[in-house]
Structure 1
Amino acid sequence: MSAFADHYLGDCFAAGHIRTPRRFLHAGDMGGWAAKVPFNAVMFAKDMCSKYMHDEDNALGLTVRNRKGEIWKAYGDKQMFEPINDDNRQRLARCLQASADEVFACYLARKIIVDDANEYAAWYHAPVVDAALDGHNHSPLFTREGHIRAEIDNPGCWKHKLSWKWWATVYNDLRTCPTFKKY
């Protein structure tokens, strides 16, 4: 059971999983008609938009902070075993060990030791989402407020805009953008 959960705990340390607003990108679709259709072009475009931001954040990395106040740069997925990600990978290992230690302590005590899930030891090691949303990082491709970076191929552009039929326009722009082909 813990090994299954550890996969998702590990995702907390992958930059592309930290601030990509997947819920926004799927707003209004979850559980509705889109969930019942085997292939849906709109959902595919939204998923691909999410993937582009995920890949960009993983490649460029994000400066993150944990609840203990420690600050570091997190990369993700393809960069997991690259030297540039050593610090992040070591922090992930300590987080996973804290989680395993807590599970083992519960086993030995034959009871749940921590009643509040927000107080699990692992959460003190994991990056805090809000810390990745500030101006210390490159500009997000999408925001939680429904905006899109005005210059999609420029991570330094902090101007965002709303876009009519964003999912179709943005997906087409991203698909043909040379910047995103390298991620």
Structure 2
Amino acid sequence: MFTHAVRVIAGMSKSSWERKLMVYREFGWSDNDILSAFKKQPYCMLISEEKIRRVVEFFLEKLKLKPSEILYRPTLLRFSLEKRIVPRCAVVKILYSKGIKRKKLIMSTVLNMSERNFLEKFVIKYQETTPEVMKAYKGGIEFAGFGEVKELSIGASVDHSTPDVTAV
């Protein structure tokens, strides 16, 4: 990670760095919080200010995450909202809402899965009995939040003494 951090810092102007710090601070992150996220995922500072706002707002408003939960998994900030995060959340909501999936699930694990793994475990496996999963996966179903779905742990474990290894 050190070499990645050096590349990020070397390739960024001071004013750009400061603008990104300001965006993260808008969500209540301290400079130490931002530095911690940067150490885990240096590329979180290469994301545009607009994307940072849109992704963090989605996590806060739709997934009801706390800023500290996002901070614990800064890699999640790099994913495309339209191509990865929203479609996967919509698929998972359909499966839980219909009672097809019952096992407790951690959304950070789902978002970190490879495309192939996600397709196999959540879309292809259920598309014959629940065809709307493919429509959701392709972005054709709006995701408004998980609502009453109780089986999901939508955040990441923030208990640093017992890290959630399934979400890594």
* TM-score with structure 1 setting the length: 0.29
Q: Which protein has the bigger strand share?
A: 1
Q: TM-score, normalised by structure 2?
A: 0.31
Structure showing greater radius of gyration is: 1
